[in-house]
């Protein structure tokens, strides 16, 4: 099989990516959070290929990407809370889980047979241009093999998926660097996954506190398996020292070859998290000690990903 085509961030690249998607192929593309592995969401065969390429269990549904709220409302039913959140944070790193409209023709593989659908309007200009050019909803999980670290560069996608993706639209490094925040609306509105939109922003918009997802409670989002985002090395969290054989993934004023943010900036740390974990994997490090990271703002999502990366692998 040939290596994936690398498509450049221009009109030709976008047109080629759209053409491949319309033909039923898989195309990885940048969003402001992480790179997505795209397939046209109404095309059963293409969506089935997404699961095969990632080695993803079929019970774990995908996020549908659309360019605007109007297309989103054609796919899902938005109540007042959903409309308020979409109005405040779209385009951006927020995914809303809403009741699915059967008339939208979304492949049942996308929703894993659920009566709800996860929808997102990304902010990245290339993602928006691509969604416009395809003129169809695009299902896209993160473009990594299931259970491994999400890609924040085109090279990460190629390293992880190689010939299992037809093309990669190269938009450089992703700005946010963490997957979107997932919020379910409806009868019991709740946060399903902390992510690139801080929980405090959702709370300010909704005017009240949210329940945090618990890492040892029942799995509320099928993708929230405990062991996930795993690098090859073992991780030790909240490390105040470095043991023999360990490499430090630092935060703040510590001496470390890999530092998420020497100044203790959580936005910078989120942007560096997966990039540093990929780079540490490439060094062949066997054990990684991670500095403590405050659990506020994007720190909540950073700590969520780190605790999953550190979880015993037999829980995957």
Under rule CB under 5 A, residue 95 binds Mg ion:
no
302 interacts with, out of Mg ion, ligand TXA, none, CB within 5 to 8 A per kind: none
Give residues with Cβ within 8 angstroms of 5, minimum separation 6: 16, 166, 167, 168
Q: How far is the CB of 270 from ligand TXA (least distance, A)?
A: 12
Q: How far is the CB of 65 from ligand TXA (least distance, A)?
A: 6
Q: How far is the CB of 45 from ligand TXA (least distance, A)?
A: 19
Residues that bind ligand TXA (CB under 6 A): 31, 33-34, 36, 60-63, 95, 97, 111, 114, 116-118, 120, 140-142, 179-180, 182, 192-193, 221-224
List, in sequence order, every beta strand (DSSP E) within the chain.
Answer: 5-7, 27-30, 35-40, 63-65, 94-99, 116-120, 138-139, 167-169, 181-184, 190-193, 234-236, 246-250, 258-259, 287-290
Q: How far is the CB of 29 from Mg ion (least distance, A)?
A: 15
182 interacts with, out of Mg ion, ligand TXA, none, CB within 5 to 8 A per kind: ligand TXA
In the chain, the N- to C-terminal Cα span, in Å, equals 30
Structure tokens at 4: 């994936």
Closest CA to 277 of 227, 242, 225, 234: 234
Among 42, 107, 142, 259, binds Mg ion (CB under 5 A): 142
Which conformational region is residue 105 in: left (phi greater than 0), alpha (psi within -120 to 50 degrees), or beta?
A: left
> Containing H/E element for 199?
helix 199-206
92 interacts with, out of ligand TXA, Mg ion, none, CB within 5 to 8 A per kind: none
> Using CB atoms, what's the residue nearest to ligand TXA?
223
Q: Pairing state of beta strands 287-290 and 234-236?
A: parallel
Closest CA to 277 of 249, 300, 236, 296: 249
Q: How far is the CB of 202 from ligand TXA (least distance, A)?
A: 15
With respect to ligand TXA, which residue has the nearer C-beta, 146 or 236?
A: 146
With respect to ligand TXA, which residue has the nearer C-beta, 217 or 245?
A: 217
33 interacts with, out of ligand TXA, Mg ion, none, CB within 5 to 8 A per kind: ligand TXA
221 interacts with, out of Mg ion, ligand TXA, none, CB within 5 to 8 A per kind: ligand TXA
Residues of the shown chain interacting with Mg ion in the complex, contacts defined by CB under 5 A: 142
């Amino acid at each position: 099989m040939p290596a994936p085509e690398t498509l450049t961030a221009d009109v030709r690249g976008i047109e080629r990516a759209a053409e491949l998607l319309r033909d039923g192929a898989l195309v990885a593309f940048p969003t402001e959070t992480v790179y997505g592995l795209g397939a046209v969401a109404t095309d059963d065969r293409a969506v089935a290929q997404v699961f095969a390429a990632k080695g993803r269990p079929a019970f774990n549904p995908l996020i549908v990407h659309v360019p605007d709220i109007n297309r989103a409302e054609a796919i899902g039913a938005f109540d007042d809370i959903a409309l308020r959140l979409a109005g405040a944070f779209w385009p951006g790193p927020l995914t809303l889980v809403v009741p699915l409209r059967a008339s939208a023709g979304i492949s049942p593989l996308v929703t894993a047979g659920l009566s709800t659908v996860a929808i997102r309007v990304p902010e990245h200009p290339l993602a928006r241009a691509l969604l416009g050019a395809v003129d169809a909803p695009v299902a896209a999980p993160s473009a990594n093999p299931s259970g491994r670290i999400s890609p924040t560069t085109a090279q990460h996608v190629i390293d992880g998926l190689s010939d299992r993706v037809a093309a990669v639209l190269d938009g450089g490094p992703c700005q946010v660097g963490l997957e979107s925040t997932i919020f379910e609306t409806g009868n019991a509105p709740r946060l399903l996954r902390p992510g690139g939109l801080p929980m405090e922003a959702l709370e300010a918009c909704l005017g009240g506190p949210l329940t945090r997802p618990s890492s040892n409670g029942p799995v509320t989002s099928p993708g929230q398996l405990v062991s996930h985002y795993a690098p090859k090395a073992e991780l030790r969290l909240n490390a105040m020292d470095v043991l023999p054989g360990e490499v430090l993934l630092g935060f703040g004023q510590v001496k470390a070859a890999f530092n998420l943010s020497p100044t203790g900036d959580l936005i910078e740390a989120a942007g560096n998290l997966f990039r540093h974990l990929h780079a540490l994997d490439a060094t062949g490090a066997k054990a990684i000690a991670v500095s403590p990271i405050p659990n506020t703002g994007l720190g909540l999502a950073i700590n969520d990903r780190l605790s999953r990366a550190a979880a015993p692998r037999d829980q995957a």
